[in-house]
Every structure is written in structure tokens, then in C-alpha cells.
Amino acid sequence: MPRRVRILGAPTDYGANRRGVDMGPSAIRYADLASELEVAGVVPLDEGDLPVPRMEERDPDTEEPPAGTAQFLRETREVCTALADRVAESIDAGATPLALGGDHSIAIGSLAGSARDARIGAIWFDAHGDMNTPTTSPSGNVHGMPLAAALGIGDFSEGAYDWANALGLDDSNVAIVGLRSLDGDERDAIRDSDVTAFTMSAIDERGIASVVADALDVATDGTDGIHVSLDLDWLDPTVAPGVGTPVRGGVTYREAHLAMEAVARSGDLRSMELVEVNPVLDQHNETAALAVELAASAFGKRVL
């Protein structure tokens, strides 16, 4: 039977400081996600969007973290807990979950659900490390914290964050690919962990194929499958302009496709998310269309 891909929308913008990413799931669907997945040879099952209250209806300081600042913490927990359940249910039903963000904070839910009753690896395709915590984050925006949260690093090791920890994910099975923007405390957190980080310099020197091959080795070592987190700001802003935190010097269109094609060839894709598509900042929905193309490549679409 062909692979079934369950599409789960999580239209949040709680974790970011620029509005618009809550429209990401709609923009991605509008760019013919279902059709492109069918061309890739899979059966798309669109489960719609999780209910997400509007930011204007909530107070960012309603629930303070035990220490530091994490804006809209209660709302992030509500959405990510629900998403974790939906991701786990999809895997139990024999489908591969594809979560559509929304900001990158939704990865807390994706990882927790994918790692439920399993040992998983993760490849983080991102310009940023997302390894801040409430006490190290300069902004308090949770979209800069999901990897630290999932791994239980720093503040996230406290019992108050049990909901955010992906217990089946070990830092030795995590690879970040394409790093080029880190806060100082994030840099220390990565160095102090067993996370494998590949900067853009590594891609420049070695080539994307070699780097992704090593990342796959890290993520698949002794695991039941891998989670792929694809933040569209991983790509250069000239290719993907519709993102909230663009950083110059990202990967090219072809490098991104080659990376996703390598993921597909591995046969180890367990779950995936597309995040940080911001239609307000986009040009003719091209970033959403690119997200769709890359998802299709990750699920097996080929030229020949």
C-alpha cells in the first residue's frame, strides 16, 4: 500500500514576534500540497487545523514560567499537547504526520508525539539553533526554544515542563543543519550537549550531500525513525522571502531539494513539520510553494 501522510495544521503565532505565520498552513495548502504529495506517490489525508485561539484573545503573561520569560506559555502548551496526541495517533494508525506551522514552537508537540513509545532521531534544518530557554532567551519568544524544550535542557529539565520533553529523543541523535545565527547562550548549550551541529560553513566546505549524509547517520543511529523539522528560514531569503526571521547566506533551492531527496532515500522518515512560512512577508506565495515542493521531495517525488 502507498504511504499515507496525515496533514495536521497548527496555525500558531504565539512563539514569534512578527505576525502572519498563523496563516502558514492555509498558504501551504493553497500551494497545492495535497496534489504534490499525490505526485510523490503518497496518499494525503488532510485532518484540518487544530483549534488555536487568536493571540489578541489571550494575555502573554497569563502564565509565567518558573524562571525567565516565555510568552504565551499556556497557549503553547495547549496547542503542543494537542498536536503531540494527533501526531502519536497518526503514527499508531500507520500514517506519517506532516505538521504545518505556524511558528516553530509547534515542534515541541511534533517531537513529543513522534517520540512517544519510541526512540527517534531528529534533523533540524534551520538557520537558528532553537536552543534558548526562558532564562537565556533575549526575547522570550518560544519559537527560539523548541529543541531545548524537547531535549529537557536547562530550565526545561524542571518538572513543570514535562509536557514539552520528548522522552524518546536523545541529544546524541539530533543534528542541526545549516546553522548561521546563534545567541551566545545557545552556542554554549549546543557545545555542552551531544547535539551535532553543521554550520553553513560546513556545507560550503563539504557540500550539502556529505553534510546531510552525516546528519542522517546521527539521527538514525539506533532509532526507530527520524523527525524532520524544516524551518523555511533555512533557505536563503532570496529563495524564501516569506519568513519572519530571515538570515542571509542560507542554502540554495537545489541544495534544499537534494537534502530532502536524501531524507526520502533513507526510508527513515517518521514525522515532519514545515514551519515559519509567513504569507504577509511573502511574494506571490512563493515561500509556501517552495515548502510544498520540499515536502514532496522528502516524501519521494523525483524527476525520473
**Catalytic site residues?**
104, 126, 128, 130, 143, 231, 233, 276
284 is in an annotated binding site: no
CA atoms within 13 A on the CB side of 180: 21
Annotated ligand binding at 128? The verdict is yes
Q: What are the Cα distances from residue 205, in Å, to 81, 164, 175?
A: 40, 35, 18
Q: Is 130 annotated as a binding residue?
A: yes
Rounded CA-CA distance 166/183 in Å is 23
Please list, in sequence order, all residues whose beta carbon lies within 8 angstroms of the beta carbon of residue 1, skipping any fewer than 6 positions away: none
C-alpha cell at 132: 534558548
Starting at the edge strand that comes first in sequence, how are the strands of the sheet with 43-49 ordered?
43-49, 4-10, 96-101, 269-275, 226-231, 120-125, 169-179, 196-199
Does residue 126 have a known ligand-binding role? yes
Instruction: Tell me if 231 is assigned to a ligand binding site.
Output: yes
236 is in an annotated binding site: no
Burial of 85 by CB count in 10 Å (0-12 exposed, 13-18 middle, 19+ buried)?
middle
In sequence order, the β-bridge partners of residue 118 are: none
Binding-site residue positions for Mn(2+): 104, 126, 128, 130, 231, 233
As annotated, the binding site includes 104, 126, 128, 130, 231, 233
